[in-house]
A = this chain, B = another copy of it.
Amino acid sequence: MLYGVSYYPEHKSNEELKWDLKLIKESGINTVRMGEFSWCRMEPEEGRYDFSWLDPVIEELGQAGIRTIVGTPTACPPAWMVEAWPDMFYQDNRRICRPFGGRRHGCYNHETYRKACAGIAKAIGKHYGRNPYVAGFQIDNELAQEGTGRCTCKNCRKKFQVWLEQKYGGIETFNRKSGAIFWSQEYRAFEQINPPVNAIEPGAQIQIRDFYESPTVRLEFERFSSESQIEFQNIQADILKAFTSYPVTTNGTGLVTNSIDYFKGFENLDCYAFDYYPNLRDAWVDSFPYAFGRGVKPDLPFWVMEFMSGGGHRLSGTGRLQPGPGALKQAVVQAFANGADLLLHYQFRSFPAGAEQLNYAIVDLDGIPRRRYYEMQETANLLKQLEPLKETSFCSEVGILLDYDSHWALKIKPVNEPEFSYMDFAGKLYYNLERIGIHSDVISLERDFLSYKALVLPASFVLKKETAKRLQEYVKQGGILIATFLTSVKNEDNLGYTIPLPAHLVEVFGVTVQEVEPVFDSNRTKLGIRLASEEDEVETRDKAWSELLAGNAKLLGYYKDTYKKDSMVISQHSFGEGTAYYVGTDLEDSAWRALFKSLLGPVCNWKDEIEAPEGVQVISRIWQEKQIYFLFNFSGQEKTVCIPAGKSDFLTKEELLQEIIIAQNGFKVIV
């Protein structure tokens, strides 16, 4: 596994550099990332490229066995550039420009800026494309971060109008498909359509409260902006690939930003890479982002380009907790267990200056190696021991299907905020499957899913007719499909279906939705819902959203009180060779687990043989045709876990009793 840190030699005096490189070389890591914020050094004036400050660092590290991921510095266009092209600034949904003085202040659709990006990418490609000490390339940095994914500048407005015209052909088609007659909004030309005033980016502010806009225009602007950024990134990708055979990628922001459709964004890149900053202090570390990472490019391992070091002042100054002793090592192993092929801590040594000053790193600002450094050193060593397990495979038999259209549409018109969020809900279902030892992948709804034993379809609000047909075919051929409330409510134009819901899937599920409403505290049923599973009966409260079902499906769960008493809310329906389940409300965690256990337990082959206590995470992979287990104790205290007989500890090679103890922040690899 590639393991290391981000490093910024351009910030250093010769003396500091010497000291840092000594520590880096002694740490046992094999990879660093450099260069991604150094445009003013790489190209100090237009067209003059200079890598002389970076070359010796790459060389020195390379000779010590440490290879470099070189970043293109395009997230930070330098002062000379913004002065030369003052119309290149990113402009948000309130028409406010992001000035020089931060980062990501360039409009990704600005042609001259794009040319400058192509220029620096070409220079980097030429210079480093075949350098033996280089391990790969990162394009730009965290596209769309800090609310820079939805530029509305004059240029973007024009381009959006052209994009719409190309998609729809005539304005009459657009008016009809978008329902523009609502509020008398029929356009007479694409030039009349502007980017929306409202925005769903993290951090976006709304200029005009209670300004309600066309959901079609809004969703199209999400798609246009996502595509524009992918186009921006791919200009560099194509250039770099012409000069190198090393992996070329960019770093996504995991589940946080979601302003770019990563399923599309990484198509043209060599591997999925993302940044992850979990809390490492006695806290559960979610596997869901890793599962998402495996799903973006299904046949390839993924990279964690930036990873938590812990402690420090954060960008905002508020501060971050230190990792508990052992937690850093534990988290790196967890990333490995989840399939990461590279992990770089952010960063090697704290910054004294700039927006991220005092944001802690592996080594404190005074350059003295302390706890986090020594733990990284141990981890580097440990990873070598774990290397044989890289060849293990995942044993997922369930697919969780995600889609950016639904994600965006549910941000544009959130059904019950903040209680319900599409991504969090998908994560919750993943978590509950993981907790009962059922292994799932998280994949694009567009992908081929026929090979999965079962599919979970969380709140697929926007669902194309063709997708409905693919799902129908899947069940028909024997698949198990578990869909939830808010399935297939809208078409790809973000318009509500005018046919019974779940649209185009009524036949498959054997139910129609009779009545819907949000679930607030005021209308939550008191007695809740009863799940009549085959094994035993579970009770739960309804959450977030409620749908009453009717049809010829088998009743699997029903309301216990209020006027909804006895109404079906969970249904089971045989269709073709398969079975389709519809779950009309969100459930409590324990009820989801009971339901999944009952529905999926019997059909999955690779269920875990370990029942993990609260706070212990089990990750299972197939090695030499057997399941092996990674156990992580996130509970903040020592834990005892029961395991099957005859297992041994991969690292110590010791045979294990059936009751093993895992220390706080500890882990075990059991084979």
| Interface set of A (CB-CB < 8 Å, partner B) | 10-11, 16, 37-41, 73, 76-80, 83, 92, 96, 98-103, 146-147, 178-188, 192, 194, 196-197, 202-205, 207-217, 281, 311-313, 315-322, 324-325, 350-358, 360, 365-368, 370-371, 412-417, 489, 495-501, 512, 514-518, 520, 522-523, 545, 563
Contact = CB atoms under 8 A, between A and B. Distances in A.
Contacts of A213: 101-102, 355
A182 B11 contact: yes
25 contacts: A16-B498, A76-B184, A96-B208, A99-B194, A101-B213, A101-B214, A101-B217, A102-B197, A102-B212, A179-B357, A182-B353, A185-B354, A215-B355, A281-B522, A311-B515, A313-B415, A316-B414, A317-B415, A317-B417, A319-B517, A319-B545, A320-B517, A325-B563, A352-B498, A357-B413
A499 B281 CA distance: 27
Nearest to A311: B517
B317 A414 contact: yes
B515 A370 contact: yes
B321 A208 contact: no
A353 B214 contact: yes
Contacts of A320: 517-518
Assembly of this chain: how many copies? 3
Contacts of A10: 181
A368 B503 CA distance: 14
Contact of A184 (B78, B350, B366, B563): B78
A413 B358 contact: yes
A316 B215 CA distance: 11
B366 A498 contact: yes
Contacts of A321: 517-518, 520, 522-523
Contacts of A204: 209
A192 B357 contact: no
B497 A365 contact: yes
Contacts of A187: 79
Contacts of A522: 281, 321
Nearest to A360: B516
Contacts of A318: 414-417, 518
Nearest to A12: B181
A156 to B, nearest CB: 16
Contacts of A317: 412-415, 417
Given A210-B147, A215-B355, A318-B518, A79 B181 contact: no
Contact of A212 (B73, B96, B217, B356): B356
A343 B182 CA distance: 23
Closest 5 CB pairs of A and B: A179-B353, A182-B354, A317-B413, A319-B518, A212-B355
A192 B216 CA distance: 41
A264 to B, nearest CB: 25
B210 A146 contact: yes
Given A40-B185, A40-B186, A366 B101 contact: no
B39 A102 contact: no
Nearest to A310: B517
A316 B204 CA distance: 16
Contact of A203 (B103, B209, B518): B209
Contacts of A563: 324-325
A181 B11 contact: yes
Contacts of A316: 212, 413-414
Contact of A366 (B182, B499, B517): B499
A197 to B, nearest CB: 6
Contacts of A99: 194, 197
A215 B500 contact: no
Contacts of A501: 366
Contacts of A545: 319
A214 B181 contact: no
A587 B356 CA distance: 28
B186 A37 contact: no
A515 B39 CA distance: 33
A619 to B, nearest CB: 25
Given A99-B197, A281-B522, A365-B496, A40 B211 contact: no
A105 to B, nearest CB: 9
Given A37-B182, A213-B102, A515-B311, A188 B357 contact: no
A475 B445 CA distance: 69
A350 B496 contact: yes
Contact of A205 (B209, B313, B499, B512): B209
A350 to B, nearest CB: 7
Nearest to A202: B210
Nearest to A214: B354
Contacts of A415: 313, 317-319
A41 B184 contact: yes
Nearest to A350: B496
- Considering residues A179, A319, A498, A545, which has the most beta carbons from chain B within 10 angstroms of its beta carbon? A319
